[in-house]
Amino acid sequence: MSERAEVPVYEGSCQCGAVRFTARTRLEAPFQCNCSRCRRLNAVMHSVPGDDFTLLSGGEALKIYRFNSHTIAHQFCTQCGIQPFAAGSDRAGNTVHVINVHCLDEPRYDKNAISHFNGADF
Ligand SMILES: [Zn+2]
């Protein structure tokens, strides 16, 4: 079995279920951000490389919201208003999905592992 196959696959959705996705990841680096959007959402997030994220359904229900530097595509469901993930890119230009951990069907993670990202100063 390859190392990648041992990484768990989480399934998640928006509230109404129109948007569903999977993320192959270990939830080892959850974080919260204090920017003007994240502090309002109070979301716990986790970054997943583009190849390890799959949108299963609901692409047509998603609306993209951008602010500040416009580099991150915040994506929310136009039916229920929940933001299950955002998409951006790392320094090398690779796509990264930042998932809203609480949108996972079974969000098992260590709350003590949550780090704090100072997005307010970006
Ligand atoms: Zn929805």
From CA 76, how far away is CA 27, in angstroms rounded? 22
Per the structure, the count of domains in the chain is 1
Whole-number Å distance, alpha carbon 24 to ligand 1 midpoint, is: 21
Whole-number Å distance, alpha carbon 17 to ligand 1 midpoint, is: 5
Whole-number Å distance, alpha carbon 31 to ligand 1 midpoint, is: 23
In which domain, by residue range, is 108 found? Answer: 4-121
* 9-37 residue pLDDT tens: 999 999 999 999 999 999 999 999 999 99
**Res 96 pLDDT > 60:** yes
pLDDT band at 2 (very low <50, low <70, confident <90, very high): low
Query: For the domain that residue 103 is a member of, what is the CATH number?
Result: 2.170.150.70
Whole-number Å distance, alpha carbon 83 to ligand 1 midpoint, is: 8
From CA 87, how far away is CA 72, in angstroms rounded? 6
From CA 14, how far away is CA 41, in angstroms rounded? 14
Amino acid symbol at 1: M
